[in-house]
A = this chain, B = another copy of it.
């Protein structure tokens, strides 16, 4: 499919600067682009490539002003990344095969209810009383245990395992290897040096428009529900413990862990490899830097935090700067002590 800069400008409601007749037939990253490619500039770190890229058309933000000559045609839009992502989506729909129907060697329990236009891949197991809504896609090697309720247009990629009684909302996407509803980690000392398991009778509720990354684990509640609210985006290899609640539209990067019964607010952004202890509350709009350790509730909304120990973001950076000078600081203290000691003599 070939489009001119003019056509793309109309499609994205942008302003064309340069030759409007130049045509593109593929999407590419600005640093890799060949002639005939459409690219974009969002992160200013990559601005240099605007001047050297072989891309024929580059989508940029409205406020971008080139500081050198540009050979490509520019299309200025409000949000270049967002605009480009619209094109990516259309392309994605073109290249992805649209799976439908029930493949051989799949197991569907007679008491399960399967909606219209559902895909169920080979080696998938749909247990007793499971409900799957219209348009959902269950890829191969997926296990859906008793009484699970899956909404409409949900995608479970290959190898997802969902334990009994859990719920997954409309349009949610769960990537391969994610485990939904395994037992929470609950044990009590048995008085003889070992532990007795605490049964985990609750479930996991995943609301609509959630995306969960590959090999992420979301444990079922001891009682009640572990809840992932609508619009939440979880990256890969994240641990969500029992009875946690993640507020709507919160985004969490890879390898972060949230301990039991903690409630994360709405619209938070949590970096990778963060650890959050159990039984605390994180206010709406909190922003937590990668590798931070959160030991206490955060009550004030819309603040940025960082570090171990956790501190306000800017203060944490200052601490890190001084940390590097610690051996020098120690010497300076020793120096002062010598001078004082000499004085006292």
Contacts and interface: CB of A to CB of B under 8 A. Distances in A.
A64 interface: no
A299 interface: no
Nearest to A320: B309
Report the contact-size class of chain A (Cβ under 8 Å from the partner).
35 or more
Instruction: Report the copy number of this chain in the oligomer.
Output: 3
A300 interface: no
Interface in A214-258: 214-215, 217, 219, 222-224, 230-231, 233, 235-237, 239, 241, 243, 248-249, 251, 253-255, 257
A336 B332 CA distance: 10
Contacts of A340: 336, 339-340
A119 interface: no
A196 to B, nearest CB: 7
Contacts of A45: 279
Contacts of A230: 194
Contacts of A323: 309, 319, 323, 326
A95 B214 contact: no
A146 B200 CA distance: 33
B182 A179 contact: no
A63 interface: no
A225 to B, nearest CB: 9
Interface string A175-206: 11101001101111110011111111100000
A304 interface: no
A158 interface: yes
A265 interface: no
A201 B128 contact: no
Interface string A42-77: 010100000000000000000000000000000000
Interface string A14-32: 0000000000000111001
A345 interface: no
A337 interface: yes
B103 A201 contact: no
Contacts of A28: 223-224
Given A97-B164, A141-B142, 13 more contacts: A32-B223, A88-B200, A88-B201, A95-B165, A157-B163, A157-B182, A159-B177, A187-B211, A194-B231, A195-B231, A275-B291, A309-B320, A329-B329
6 contacts: A32-B223, A88-B222, A104-B107, A143-B159, A235-B239, A325-B330
Return the 9 tightest CB-CB contacts between A and B, nearest first: A92-B199, A143-B158, A179-B214, A161-B176, A88-B199, A182-B214, A194-B231, A322-B326, A85-B198
